[in-house]
A and B are shown apart, each in its own frame.
Chain A
Amino acid sequence: MRPMKLMNDMSGMKNFLPGILSLIMALAVYQASPAQGSDLVKTVENQARIIKIAAKRYEYTPREIVIKKGQPVVLQLTTEDRSHGFNIPALNLRADIKRDQVTELKFTPQTTGDLNFYCDIFCGTGHDDMAGKFKVVE
């Protein structure tokens, strides 16, 4: 594995330095972005991005998330109160979010633009406002 080789062959360090710096900078950007929720969003380059979204009456946290076109996404959905739904109509993708469970949804955005999501389980007076969006960028 490349990291182990790096540890054992310090003479090749300069070959990997740009990549390491890029990774550190990328992580720094994600950590610094309040809109993405620094402790809710974790990314490993070239792997699926795991995004945790918490549902409760009548909102998702976070409710607006920037993701990259072509990068696989794994949503980890939880609820703090009652059952909610999570529906991305443009992808024909949905799931129930139940208490004391983590529900995973996976997708890879193929085009840039907005991907709206909403709660499709009627949950009370503010149900109609329970929605959010992914902003898919290059």
Chain B
Amino acid sequence: MTEDIDRREFLKLTGGSVGVGLGVVYLSGLFEPAGARSIWGLKNNDFHFVQLSDSHWGFEGPKVNPDALGTLPRAVKEVNSLKQNPDFIVFTGDLIQTTDDTNVRRKRMKEFKQIVSELEAKIYFMPGEHDASLDNGETYREFFGETHYTFDHKGTHFIVLDNVSDPGGIIGEGQLEWLKNDLNKIKKDQPIVVLTHRPLFPLYPQWDWTTRDGGKALDLLMPFANVAVFYGHIHQEHHHQTGHIAHHSARSLMLPLPVAGSVPERKPILWSASEPYKGLGFRDIFSHRKGDYALTEFPIKEDAKV
């Protein structure tokens, strides 16, 4: 199918549990890559991108993930097996597991970079607190470049915000000023996608699921009609609206975390032998028409050989 489809037809085709937000279609059903691709036609400025997040390369904990060395490579294989190649890939932070040893940090970043170099699309990286908070992003920049920047793709303006290089989990006045200046150049109706690690809204501050000055960034974004935020950090799918701004968190590629406040302590969910890789995965984001997004969640599959 090569022609575009309207939302009603899209929903009818997809079936399953589908929610419609402001300018966003959420698919929480799990499609096989081929199935997901077959219903989407690309037209004009339509495009796909894949969000990977929280791979925590270097994490060790057999009860949480006995395949700690294999999960990221499996994800790489799966992304490469998508029949519709993504235009690009974003990696929303916590690439590696934190360490106090700078040499170990470098080693993990080098290994991580080698693994994801197998991905067959351009990757836009950003740091999580595990990558950047202990040295204000110094080692991260050696391997992956700047921690905040912008790029444009088919009429959509992408803004990568760094809310982790400051260990206090803030964006900071300097970067907020940079954001303000960047937004001054953007038309109010141009689609904007913000990519960041922590939630910009206070999702659950008790577990540090917030950005202390995230509200200031959202205030700057509010005048723009079409804004979506994709982030990581909380290791699970979550969808939220602040006004007309949509926020979507991604699953982890190492360990799932419980729903906010569902348990007394924020401890990883233990591995299930009967359901291996449960809660882990990545997402495809299909931008069809400017600013409408269809999200498809992909689990890590046991048979993705590495």
Does B38 lie at the interface of the complex (its beta carbon under 8 Å from any beta carbon of A)?
no
| Cα(A118)–Cα(B168), bound, Å | 12
Partner of B169 from the list A120, A125, A131 (CB cut-off 8 Å) is A120
List B contacts of A123 (CB < 8 A).
167
Residues B205 and A124 in contact, CB atoms below 8 Å apart: no
Does B48 lie at the interface of the complex (its beta carbon under 8 Å from any beta carbon of A)?
no
Does B82 lie at the interface of the complex (its beta carbon under 8 Å from any beta carbon of A)?
no
List B contacts of A125 (CB < 8 A).
98-100
Q: 1/0 per position for A107-121, CB-CB distance to B under 8 A?
A: 000000000101011
Does A71 lie at the interface of the complex (its beta carbon under 8 Å from any beta carbon of B)?
no
Which residue of chain A lies nearest to B164 when distances are taken between CB atoms in the complex?
A: A122
Partner of A122 from the list B99, B129, B205, B265 (CB cut-off 8 Å) is B129
Residues A122 and B167 in contact, CB atoms below 8 Å apart: yes
Does B196 lie at the interface of the complex (its beta carbon under 8 Å from any beta carbon of A)?
no
Does B225 lie at the interface of the complex (its beta carbon under 8 Å from any beta carbon of A)?
no
Residues B100 and A124 in contact, CB atoms below 8 Å apart: yes
Does B266 lie at the interface of the complex (its beta carbon under 8 Å from any beta carbon of A)?
yes
- How large, as a class, is the contact surface on chain A? 10 to 19
> Quick one: given A124-B98, A124-B100, A125-B98, are A118 and B167 in contact (CB under 8 Å)?
no
Does A103 lie at the interface of the complex (its beta carbon under 8 Å from any beta carbon of B)?
no
> Quick one: given A87-B205, A89-B206, A116-B206, are A124 and B134 in contact (CB under 8 Å)?
yes
Which residue of chain A lies nearest to B207 when distances are taken between CB atoms in the complex?
A: A118
Within the complex, the shortest CB–CB distance from B206 to chain A, in Å, comes to 5
Residues B205 and A89 in contact, CB atoms below 8 Å apart: yes
List A contacts of B98 (CB < 8 A).
122, 124-125, 127
Does A37 lie at the interface of the complex (its beta carbon under 8 Å from any beta carbon of B)?
no
Within the complex, the shortest CB–CB distance from B30 to chain A, in Å, comes to 29
| Cα(A85)–Cα(B167), bound, Å | 10
Q: 1/0 per position for A83-103, CB-CB distance to B under 8 A?
A: 101010110000010000000
Partner of B266 from the list A120, A122, A124, A128 (CB cut-off 8 Å) is A128
List B contacts of A83 (CB < 8 A).
167
Residues B99 and A121 in contact, CB atoms below 8 Å apart: no
List B contacts of A87 (CB < 8 A).
205
Residues A121 and B168 in contact, CB atoms below 8 Å apart: yes
Q: List residues of B (84-105) whose CB comes within 8 Å of A's CBs.
A: 98-100
Does B247 lie at the interface of the complex (its beta carbon under 8 Å from any beta carbon of A)?
no
Of A87, A89, A96, A122, the most chain B CB neighbours within 10 A belong to: A122
Residues A122 and B206 in contact, CB atoms below 8 Å apart: no
Residues B134 and A120 in contact, CB atoms below 8 Å apart: no
| Cα(A123)–Cα(B205), bound, Å | 17
Does B55 lie at the interface of the complex (its beta carbon under 8 Å from any beta carbon of A)?
no
Residues B99 and A118 in contact, CB atoms below 8 Å apart: no
A-B pairs, top 3 by smallest CB distance, nearest first, are A122-B133, A89-B205, A122-B167
Give me 28 A-to-B residue pairs in the complex whose CB atoms sit less than 8 angstroms apart, sorted by A's number: A83-B167, A87-B205, A89-B205, A89-B206, A90-B206, A96-B168, A116-B206, A118-B206, A118-B207, A118-B208, A120-B168, A120-B208, A121-B167, A121-B168, A121-B169, A122-B98, A122-B133, A122-B134, A122-B164, A122-B167, A122-B168, A122-B169, A124-B98, A124-B100, A125-B100, A127-B98, A128-B266, A131-B265
